[in-house]
């Protein structure tokens, strides 16, 4: 991971974006904003899934009126999404939103843009310049030969110039494209050009799993390079999946503290003593809704499993009809195969209530010895332990002499 690029910091309500603030997760409601209760229900679901900021469309007067009722009841700050009508941006400001998103390709009259910026400045509201490859100004697209990285950045710079006319600098920027390499190159160029906070996303990524792959490829690449201050997975799916995926990506990269389950599992092989896919799915279903911030491992055999997952908070490895339950690499209990998932859940809850050290101290007597005996038995049947580094080195030396 590269050191994170330093940017200016803005405030979207209570959420800081840029500077030394944590990378934030965003999503967007799919309800009609005029449907106040339906929109609020979705906002709460998004917040529960990890969204720090939520965007709502403001495409008509009824939507702005809905925002006036939604904003005071929202658990997270709201951004009004404005497309063609600048007066709806002014209406959203009156409704009390904490930020605006303007698409430079849709509102093209400079004075209208300046008017919105003046009003936002008076209310200390930030604006996201939301450049999209699919809605570039025709003159910019023609000058740069299409929706190139240079064209996307030029569009953002033109909007910045309008803002500068009224001394408005409370800005974050996105330069989204559905083509992942174009998106990556556009953000790289933008990060070298401005010091404003950047909102990352692959636009129109599509439904999962392809949409998840494209979004992760684009967003994850940039985050690993230290580029990006806030993110959105733009999926053709329930937006809760967007928030969950964004949060999981940040946790996987170590950019946010883990708040939920991190389940790791071996891909299974001929050595497996159990249906790893089924057990992993059952464990995921049983643990995920409990909001347990642990790394939990499901391993198919005791020969390699505990060694490969020794850094997990908690795990289980299958062996000869039994599950070997381990905590921080130490076997604490041996349970029947049919009870493996229940044992994982019970032990996870114990760790949360009593702590790892207390669970380790209460390990069943003889559990490690039983696990070792099973492991030795399977080694005789299945072959060498893949984690036996010392043994491998000794044999290599014998062969090389």
**What residue ranges do the domains of the chain occupy?**
9-252, 262-389
- Kindly report the CATH number that applies to the domain delimited by 9-252: 3.20.20.20
**Are both 9-252 and 262-389 of the same fold?**
no
**Distance between CA atoms of residues 374 and 368, nearest Å:** 10
> Which residues touch 400 (CB under 8 Å, ≥6 apart)?
none
Cα 128–Cα 133–Cα 138 angle in degrees, nearest 5: 105
> Which residues touch 307 (CB under 8 Å, ≥6 apart)?
329, 385, 386, 387
Q: Mean pLDDT check: name the lowest of 163-177, 204-218, 229-243, 384-398.
A: 384-398
Residue 88 host element (H or E) = helix 86-95
Q: What is the pLDDT of residues 49-59, one digit of tens each?
A: 999 999 999 99
pLDDT at 401: 64
pLDDT at 396: 65
Domain 262-389: which CATH class? alpha beta
Q: How many residues does the chain have?
A: 401
| pLDDT of 14 over the 90 cut | yes
DSSP per residue, 16-82? EEETTSPPEEEEE--S-TT-HHHHHHHHHHHHHTT-SEEEEE--SHHHHHHHHHHGGG-SS-EEEEE
**Regarding predicted confidence, which is higher, 380 or 66?**
66
Q: What is the pLDDT of residues 205-244, one digit of tens each?
A: 999 999 999 999 999 999 999 999 999 999 999 999 999 9
Q: pLDDT grade, residue 367 (50/70/90)?
A: confident
**Distance between CA atoms of residues 101 and 79, nearest Å:** 7
**Distance between CA atoms of residues 289 and 75, nearest Å:** 20
Contact of 70 with 43, CB cutoff 8 Å: yes
| pLDDT of 283 over the 70 cut | yes
| pLDDT of 65 over the 60 cut | yes
């Amino acid at each position: 991971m590269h050191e994170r690029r330093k940017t200016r910091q803005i405030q979207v309500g209570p959420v800081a974006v840029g500077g030394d603030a944590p990378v934030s997760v965003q999503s967007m409601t799919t309800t009609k904003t005029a449907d106040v209760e339906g929109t609020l229900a979705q906002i709460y679901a998004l917040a529960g899934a990890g969204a720090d900021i939520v965007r709502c469309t403001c495409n008509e007067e009824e939507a702005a009126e809905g925002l006036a009722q939604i904003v005071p009841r929202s658990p997270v700050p709201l951004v009004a999404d404005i497309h063609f009508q600048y007066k709806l941006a002014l209406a959203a400001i009156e409704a009390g939103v904490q930020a605006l998103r303007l698409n430079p390709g849709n509102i093209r009259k400079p004075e209208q843009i300046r008017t919105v910026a003046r009003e936002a400045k008076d209310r200390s509201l930030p604006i996201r310049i939301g450049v999209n490859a699919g809605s570039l100004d025709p003159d910019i697209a023609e000058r740069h030969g299409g929706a190139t990285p240079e064209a996307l950045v030029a569009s953002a710079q033109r909007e910045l110039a309008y803002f500068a006319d009224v001394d408005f600098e409370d800005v974050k920027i996105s330069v989204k494209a559905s083509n992942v390499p174009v998106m990556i190159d556009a953000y790289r160029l933008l990060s070298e050009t401005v010091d404003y906070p950047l909102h990352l996303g692959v636009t129109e990524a599509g439904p999962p799993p392809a949409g998840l792959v494209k979004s992760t490829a684009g967003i994850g690449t940039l985050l690993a390079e230290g580029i990006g201050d806030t993110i959105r997975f733009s999926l053709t799916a329930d937006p809760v999946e967007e928030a969950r995926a964004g949060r999981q990506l940040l946790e996987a990269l170590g950019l946010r503290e883990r708040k939920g389950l991190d389940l790791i599992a071996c891909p299974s092989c001929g050595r497996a003593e159990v249906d790893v896919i089924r057990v992993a799915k059952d464990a995921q279903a049983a643990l995920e809704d409990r909001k347990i911030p642990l790394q939990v491992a499901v391993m198919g055999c005791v020969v390699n499993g505990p060694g490969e997952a020794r850094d997990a908070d908690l795990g289980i490895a299958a062996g000869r009809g039994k599950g070997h339950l381990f905590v921080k690499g130490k076997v604490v209990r041996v349970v029947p195969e049919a009870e493996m998932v229940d044992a994982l859940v019970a032990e996870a809850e114990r760790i949360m209530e009593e702590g790892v050290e207390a669970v380790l101290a209460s390990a069943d007597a003889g559990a490690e010895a039983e696990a070792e005996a099973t492991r030795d038995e399977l080694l005789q049947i299945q072959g060498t332990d893949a984690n036996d580094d010392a043994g491998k080195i000794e044999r290599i030396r014998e062969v090389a002499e």
